[in-house]
């Protein structure tokens, strides 16, 4: 019996997607998960790399769009609960099983994700310092769902029809659920690679922030406290940890530059703005 469908949107992820899929399915029983990779607008071997993994269904679409890929994956998938996994994250079979178990029992609408781990081993000292402070933010403490992996039960998936044309699909999904409807698996995690340097971090952060700001208010069920109150709480948490004081300037700079540049009017369409150093290393 299939436990859960897993949709993986992938745009030019040839260097990474096969390793991601093999890690996900390394200890899975045949047919335990329905995995659908949607290669969208790829100019590399993403589709071929995904097809090389047994049990994976590959859908190819011409349009390079994560939202189009998510919607195409939903059309192809047959099982609920349903997980949505970025092609460049690291998640293992046990974490997928735990997600399926958490969302299979009859319950009200729910969203879930493993605990997010940031791999900053290849990052600059400034980026590592930024994430030491970020780990204490309200965003991390209030039912964080997204940033590479999120899953919903059948009742939760009924809260929207197709994915809307937004940049921040994970933020859109998180905000469809109240904090008490979100479940973070503290015993399981997934890993996302941090940017290599602060300039790359800021470019990626600007795109994410603009995506968050474009979400229409009517698409969001969960409100959040005013920014001043959230920042004050973060400063109090840092204040109680003298070992983190030296990291605060890097966080203020990284956060402040993202906010400042996100307010600047766009002169052109927003590009994906991802940090490709991880893909370059994998390709090498």
d(CA 27, CA 94): 8
Domains contained in the chain, number: 1
pLDDT at residue 175, as a whole number: 86
Domain of residue 230: give its range: 4-283
Find the CATH number of the domain harbouring 113.
3.90.550.10
Question: What pLDDT is recorded for position 270?
Answer: 41
**How remote is the C-alpha of 143 from its chain's centroid?**
14
What CA–CA distance (Å, rounded) separates 201 from 180?
31
Handedness of CA 265, 270, 274, 277 (dihedral sign): negative
Per-residue pLDDT of the chain (284 residues; tens, 9 = 90+): 899 999 999 999 998 999 999 999 999 999 999 999 999 999 999 999 999 999 999 999 999 999 999 999 999 999 999 999 999 999 999 999 999 999 997 889 999 999 999 999 999 999 999 999 998 988 776 667 778 999 999 999 999 999 998 888 988 898 889 888 999 999 999 999 999 999 999 998 888 888 777 776 655 555 566 778 888 999 999 999 999 999 999 999 999 999 899 887 654 444 444 556 666 555 55
């Amino acid at each position: 019996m299939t436990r859960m469908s897993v949709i993986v949107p992938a745009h030019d992820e040839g260097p990474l997607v096969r390793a991601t899929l093999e890690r996900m399915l390394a200890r899975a029983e045949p047919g335990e998960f329905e995995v659908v990779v949607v290669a969208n607008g790829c100019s590399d071997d993403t589709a071929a790399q995904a097809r090389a993994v047994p049990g994976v269904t590959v859908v190819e679409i011409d349009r390079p769009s994560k939202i189009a890929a998510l919607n195409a994956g939903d059309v192809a998938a047959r099982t609920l609960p349903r997980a949505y996994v970025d092609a460049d994250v690291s998640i293992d079979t046990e974490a997928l099983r735990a997600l399926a178990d958490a969302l299979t029992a009859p319950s009200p609408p729910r969203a879930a994700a493993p605990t997010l781990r940031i791999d900053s081993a290849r990052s600059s000292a400034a980026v590592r310092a930024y994430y030491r402070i970020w780990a204490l933010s309200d965003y991390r403490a209030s039912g964080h769902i997204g940033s590479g992996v999120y899953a919903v039960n059948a009742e939760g998936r009924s809260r929207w029809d197709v994915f809307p044309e937004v940049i921040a699909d994970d933020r859109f999904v998180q905000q469809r659920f109240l904090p008490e409807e979100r479940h973070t698996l503290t015993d399981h995690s997934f890993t996302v690679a941090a940017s290599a340097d602060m300039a790359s971090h800021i470019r990626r952060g600007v795109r994410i922030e603009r995506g968050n700001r474009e979400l229409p208010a009517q698409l969001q069920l969960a409100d959040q406290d005013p920014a001043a109150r959230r920042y004050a709480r973060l400063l109090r948490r840092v204040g109680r940890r003298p070992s983190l004081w030296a990291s605060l300037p890097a966080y203020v700079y990284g956060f402040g530059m993202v906010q400042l540049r996100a307010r600047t009017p766009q002169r052109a369409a927003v590009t994906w703005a991802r940090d490709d150093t991880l893909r370059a290393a994998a390709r090498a």
